[in-house]
Amino acid sequence: MTVRILVTGANGFVGRALVARLLADGARVRAAVRRTGIPFDAPVEEVVVGTIGPSTDWRPALGGVDVVVHCAARVHQLRDGSADPLAEFRVVNRDGTSRLAQQAAEAGVRRFILLSSIGVNGAETFDVPFRASDAPRPHSPYAVSKLEAETALRRIAADTGLGAVVIRPPLVYGPDAPGNFATLLRALHRGLPMPFGAIDNRRSFVAIDNLVDLIATTARSDAAAGATFLVSDGEDLSTTELLRRIAAALGRPARLVSVPPSWLRSAANLLGRRQLGQRLCGSLQIDISPTKLALGWTPPVRVDDALVTLAQHFLASQARHGTASG
């Protein structure tokens, strides 16, 4: 029997990769998007849902759907001009999720997979990795809204029997990844010196292919319903080691200057970028052994292979745009 899966945020970084994977697995995919205009690589049934919030009508998108994967969210804003950022996050991430989950349950959807964030656990680890069973310690308005979305989903699941699954990823990387990862990639390609040669932290990351593999696994596994899963590549790296490996994949020297991490944190604080300093210098480790045990799952892609794929895509993009450097 072919499974029909609704993917929200289908035009986003994770959503597009997930749609491609699910189609390859033989699923029938319905892609929910805010607006049309970005074509998919393969034919999908596209449904425009507009702005996500407490009054969004998801019913036209939910007919005949077996599984919902909710990737759509209001994400971190680099320069958030909102008077109340938490309220803005709540409208989309908490209230929008609650609305979708309630209407999904009413439509007879059997499983609802929420893409949450490791930020629900906290911002930094100290020797002991995060586990799904830890008490939540959300560190930002975004993370608070994601925790509240998880709570709303579990409440609806308890009331309706909807099979709820929560996945909390760390930083996701891969071809066309947005944010700070893309900035570091461009700097390494240009051979710019960077002051990150002496950082001895440990951080968990997840390659996009590993994340979508776990999502696909939870969509079909009976063991997934009602559970919360942490996900990573299963290999933790220091910021320094990560940059060296990316540079090697690009075929470039890593020009990393050894600056004490305490100086970097102080500089980030002075510039009003405390969280950036924390992400560069602090540790954030994830224990995925419960995920592996519950689902019989192992990350299928090694870090170095994922970085080679990332580098090849980046270099091909640079060549297409005539910006490759010698």
Question: Which residues have a catalytic role annotated?
Answer: 142
Query: What CA dihedral angle connects 206, 207, 212 and 217, to 10 degrees?
Result: -60
Q: Are 130 and 88 in contact (CB under 8 A)?
A: no
CB atoms within 10 A of CB 260: 12
What is the three-class DSSP state of 304?
Answer: helix
Q: Rg for the chain (alpha carbons), in Å?
A: 20
Tokens 């299963």 belong to 234
Cite the beta strand spans of the chain per DSSP E.
4-8, 28-33, 45-48, 67-70, 111-115, 163-168, 172-173, 206-207, 228-230
Measured at the CA of 5, the angle between CA 18 and CA 103, to 5 degrees, comes to 120
Two structure tokens written together for 24: 């390859």
Q: Check if the beta carbon of residue 131 is closer than 8 Å to that of residue 164.
A: no
DSSP code at position 135 = P
The number of angstroms, rounded, from the C-alpha of 135 to the middle of its chain's C-alpha atoms is 21
Helix (H, G, I), strand (E, B) or coil at 309: helix
Kindly report the backbone phi and psi dihedral angles of residue 86, in degrees, each rounded to the nearest multiple of 5, phi listed first.
-60, -40
Residue 238 CA to residue 200 CA, distance in Å, equals: 6
CB 154 within 8 A of CB 165: no
